[in-house]
A and B are shown apart, each in its own frame.
Chain A
Amino acid sequence: MPEIPAVSRRSLLGGALATGAVAVGAGSARAEPAGPGAVLPAPTPRRRRDQKSMIGVPYDVHETVRVGVIGIGNRGRGMGEGWAVVPGCRVTAVCDIRANRAKALADRLVALGKPRPAEYGGSEDAYTKMLKRDDIDLVYIATPWEFHHRQGRDALLAGKHVVVELPIATELDELWDLVDTSERTRRHLMLSENCSYGRNELAMLKMAHEGLFGDVTNGHGGYLHDLRSLLFSDTYYTDSWRRLWHTRSTASFYAMHGLAPVAAAMDVNRGDRMTVLRATATEPKGLADYRERFVDRSHPSWKETYVNGDLVTCLIDTAKGRVIRAEHDVSSPRPYSRINSLAGSRGIFEDYAGTSSTGGRIYVEPDHSGHSWRDFDSYRKEFDHWLWKKIGDDAANNGGHGGMDYVLQWRTVQLMRAGLVPDIDVYDSASWCSPVPLSVTSLAAGGRPVEVPDFTRGSWVNLRLGLDSRETNMPPVA
């Protein structure tokens, strides 16, 4: 994971997210549409002549997928190992601004019996040298958020496919830039949205497609994870990069893990689309309170002021009249939850709520009546996604986050080796990340509704497969 001093990292940032206080001014300086409740526009830039949609574009067939890793912090280290154990995948290069981290991952891969990857590091732009290699097909980026756009863009321009950790970018113009760069370079960029490959999430998706919930009307998701101790750790987030985001802006930084599965179940960008977002935020209390109770007065965090609301909620309308509630809270004491709830005219599913082995509960007509929840277990078994049936055991043995990481990595490699269309494309990735900047705009305008851009430029109306895919085999490894 590249590391630079916090001050210089802030100097890299631009746009609404970088300057929370400025964001309010910037929002109010917009050309105001008529009426106080009118939707703030988010214009769609014109598609250039030299680019065309990446929807439905398959990967070229890669006999072996050769991966270059940028950013070897907590996330990159685990995922770097994860790529290496997927059949037909090889990590050929690793990069971190701290060269010792690149070496440590290379050593670890050798210890696992894998070929030693080339090592890059020692400077902020060391990754650009790595991108010049011709033995990299896929670049995986797990750096702090502020680097994602630039590194993702550079990787596309270098002719690589890209998987980027959440979010792929934090500003609307950056999201559009990644869409456009993907379309121009004919390379795919996808959000590393592992939770969309979660076992419950995929079963929820398949139940929605079966019609078990009837006509889906609403869904809730989010990222509710008490990260306070990690945010104040001096070692977990390099240079405390994640905590510093809470000093800069009021935004839904990281709701994608809960939003994306709900959006997928609603076929967002595959027949529906998110149209309008409005955000609310509570006061920022959690981090300051935690610091007061648990952090020594000599800690550098005492110079910080936290501005991001503890709970930031986005209500998102879709073209088909559905509503998504996406929440973000990493600074309050609470058990972990991504919510994962989907409801419609015939029933409802809720995750993180039941006492069953799956953690989910369900109520669907005509199976259920009497106003009481039922365990999700039998439903998950019936609607288990083929990926989990096929590689669930491998995922349990190899992957973090309950196996979701391995499933994402295995499936990505399979798609590239078999020459298939991605389950998650740049349009999904941009849409799912757009609440980051849009929440800033909405909150700066007092919760005004904000238009959600159509990154597909009109193609959202077309039904197409995505995460609810047809079963295919991993090509044999020679």
Chain B
Amino acid sequence: MRTVRTFRSLGAAVVAALLVIVSAPAAAGAEPPPEPVASRTEVSISSVDLDGPAVSTVKVTVKNAGPQRMRSLRVSFAGPAGWAVQPAVTSVAGAFGVDATAAAEFRIQVPEKRDGFALRTFTATAAYAGGDGAGSATATRTQTNGAPLADLAAAYDNVGITDEGNTGPGDYDGEGNSFSAQKLAAAGLEPGGRVEALGAELTWPDVAPGTKDNVTGAGQAITLNGKGSKLVLLGSGVTGGATGTATVYYADGTSTRGPFGFPNWSFDPADAHGATLVASTDGRNRPDGYGNAGIAYRVFAHSVPLDPAKQVEFVVLPSNRNVHVFDMAIAP
């Protein structure tokens, strides 16, 4: 199920904005590059009215904070994939001086606002000559609709643990296989039990075997409060390529992103993708009962760094269903 749909109906929209400015070096073959400078061109995107279906107007402002007059300015704007924008690029005639601003207007087709949580990211890029000499600058603005899920348990969408006496409900890997609750307990992972990993205190899902107990990555936004040095995720992968990026949003509206990945629950090296082994169980539950004894099925931990000065508000999981997460927590 898609992220938005899995979220509960929420009331008033919460809007947070994030502005990131990145300058790129001038293209090869252009005028001789000036001495390296810190980016001084400022690009900003006005708030986008998300009350669709509608065609909303967006203003992108470019401020020339460089030492030279800015000219040949072209501004492009884009919304989330599939959202039509008119025009995609616009040129600003003439040149403008230091500290002067230029604005470009765009129209964007906004879909109907529905129940649940959604992140909407907008990007504007200014390409220019002169100014700070960087050649281009980009801004992104992220707005949200609704509120994130209350906790990870609210996003559980997969049955990864079953009793050896009733393996039918399990489907951790898409082929009807699952962890054995008995073998997990033997490895120290029991419902509601504490799990220490990478400096964080996590909790093993406190649910009965055969019920939904983990989240597969689909861009879900999960509420998580606290401060710390890193976000620790507990889980493992299925098939191949169980990797992605976790995006952490802070109370001040900013965010950081960190890549992570889990080895396949069985066949990858235990340190694949930089993960750390937490527990290893013997065999697995198959649709017809316990089996594959002698083969290890494992749980790992991985982390992404946090800005320790900021209060974490929510985490957006990667959009990769091969990533299974049993819990996540903030490490001091």
- Which of B55, B81, B87, B107 contacts A211 (CB under 8 A)? B81
Q: How many CB-defined contacts (below 8 Å) exist between A and B?
A: 78
- Which of A206, A214, A344, A382 contacts B5 (CB under 8 A)? A382
B2 & A212 in contact (Cβ 8 Å cutoff):
yes
User: How far, in whole Å, are A369 and B175 apart by their CA atoms in the complex?
Assistant: 13
A345 & B81 in contact (Cβ 8 Å cutoff):
yes
User: How far, in whole Å, are A469 and B52 apart by their CA atoms in the complex?
Assistant: 9
Question: Which residues of chain B from 28 to 65 have a CB within 8 Å of any chain A CB?
Answer: 52-55
Q: A463-B55, A465-B53 are in contact. Are A378 and B1 (CB under 8 A)?
A: yes
Chain A 356-381, CB-CB to B under 8 Å as 1, else 0, gives 00000000111111100000001000
Chain B residues with CB below 8 A from A382, complex form: 5, 114
Interface assignment of B165: CB less than 8 Å from any CB of chain A: no
Q: A206-B112, A211-B111, A365-B319 are in contact. Are A370 and B55 (CB under 8 A)?
A: no
Interface assignment of B84: CB less than 8 Å from any CB of chain A: yes
Q: A366-B319, A367-B2 are in contact. Are A463 and B218 (CB under 8 A)?
A: no
User: How far, in whole Å, are A366 and B321 apart by their CA atoms in the complex?
Assistant: 7
Rounded to whole Å, the gap between the CB of B204 and the closest CB of chain A is 26
B218 & A367 in contact (Cβ 8 Å cutoff):
yes
User: How far, in whole Å, are A470 and B51 apart by their CA atoms in the complex?
Assistant: 10
B contact residues, range: 20 to 34
Rounded to whole Å, the gap between the CB of B123 and the closest CB of chain A is 14
Interface assignment of B225: CB less than 8 Å from any CB of chain A: no
A209, A344, A345, A364: residue with the most chain B Cβ atoms closer than 10 Å:
A209
Interface assignment of A208: CB less than 8 Å from any CB of chain B: yes
Residue of A nearest to B86 (CB): A463
Chain B residues with CB below 8 A from A212, complex form: 2, 82
A209 & B217 in contact (Cβ 8 Å cutoff):
no
Chain B residues with CB below 8 A from A367, complex form: 1-2, 218, 321
Chain A residues with CB below 8 A from B2, complex form: 212, 364, 366-367
B53 & A209 in contact (Cβ 8 Å cutoff):
yes
A214 & B1 in contact (Cβ 8 Å cutoff):
no
Q: A209-B53, A366-B217 are in contact. Are A215 and B109 (CB under 8 A)?
A: no
Chain A 321-365, CB-CB to B under 8 Å as 1, else 0, gives 000000000000000000000001110000000000000000011
Question: Which residues of chain A from 432 to 478 have a CB within 8 Å of any chain B CB?
Answer: 461-465, 468-470
Interface assignment of B174: CB less than 8 Å from any CB of chain A: yes
B81 & A462 in contact (Cβ 8 Å cutoff):
no
Interface assignment of A267: CB less than 8 Å from any CB of chain B: yes
A462 & B54 in contact (Cβ 8 Å cutoff):
no
User: How far, in whole Å, are A271 and B244 apart by their CA atoms in the complex?
Assistant: 34
Interface assignment of B219: CB less than 8 Å from any CB of chain A: yes
User: How far, in whole Å, are A210 and B116 apart by their CA atoms in the complex?
Assistant: 14
Q: A463-B109, A465-B55 are in contact. Are A208 and B5 (CB under 8 A)?
A: no
User: How far, in whole Å, are A368 and B320 apart by their CA atoms in the complex?
Assistant: 9
User: How far, in whole Å, are A369 and B52 apart by their CA atoms in the complex?
Assistant: 29
Rounded to whole Å, the gap between the CB of A272 and the closest CB of chain B is 8
Q: A378-B5, A465-B54 are in contact. Are A211 and B83 (CB under 8 A)?
A: yes
Chain B residues with CB below 8 A from A426, complex form: none
Question: Which residues of chain B from 58 to 95 have a CB within 8 Å of any chain A CB?
Answer: 80-84, 86-87
Chain A residues with CB below 8 A from B86, complex form: 271, 461-463
Interface assignment of A204: CB less than 8 Å from any CB of chain B: no
Query: What total of chain A residues lie within 8 Å of the partner, measured CB to CB?
Result: 33
A211, A215, A271, A378: residue with the most chain B Cβ atoms closer than 10 Å:
A211
Interface assignment of A95: CB less than 8 Å from any CB of chain B: no
Per DSSP, chain A at the interface is: loop
Interface assignment of B322: CB less than 8 Å from any CB of chain A: yes
Chain B residues with CB below 8 A from A215, complex form: 81-82
Interface assignment of A276: CB less than 8 Å from any CB of chain B: no
A366 & B55 in contact (Cβ 8 Å cutoff):
no
Interface assignment of A83: CB less than 8 Å from any CB of chain B: no
Chain B 269-297, CB-CB to A under 8 Å as 1, else 0, gives 00000000000000000000000000000
B84 & A271 in contact (Cβ 8 Å cutoff):
yes
Rounded to whole Å, the gap between the CB of A399 and the closest CB of chain B is 24
Interface assignment of A213: CB less than 8 Å from any CB of chain B: yes
- Which of B81, B108, B217, B218 contacts A214 (CB under 8 A)? B81
Question: Which residues of chain A from 181 to 239 have a CB within 8 Å of any chain B CB?
Answer: 206, 208-216
User: How far, in whole Å, are A177 and B198 apart by their CA atoms in the complex?
Assistant: 74
Question: Which residues of chain B from 304 to 324 have a CB within 8 Å of any chain A CB?
Answer: 319-322
Rounded to whole Å, the gap between the CB of B116 and the closest CB of chain A is 9
Question: Which residues of chain A from 356 to 414 have a CB within 8 Å of any chain B CB?
Answer: 364-370, 378, 382
B82 & A209 in contact (Cβ 8 Å cutoff):
yes
Q: A271-B86, A370-B174, A470-B53 are in contact. Are A209 and B111 (CB under 8 A)?
A: yes
**A-B contacts besides A366-B321, A367-B1, A463-B86, 6 pairs, CB < 8 Å:** A209-B52, A267-B109, A271-B84, A364-B2, A463-B84, A463-B109
Binding site for A on B (CB under 8 A): 1-2, 5, 52-55, 80-84, 86-87, 107-109, 111-112, 114, 174, 217-219, 319-322
> 9 shortest A-B CB distances, which residue pairs?
A211-B82, A366-B319, A209-B111, A210-B111, A214-B81, A463-B55, A271-B84, A367-B2, A463-B86
Binding site for B on A (CB under 8 A): 206, 208-216, 267, 271-272, 344-346, 364-370, 378, 382, 461-465, 468-470
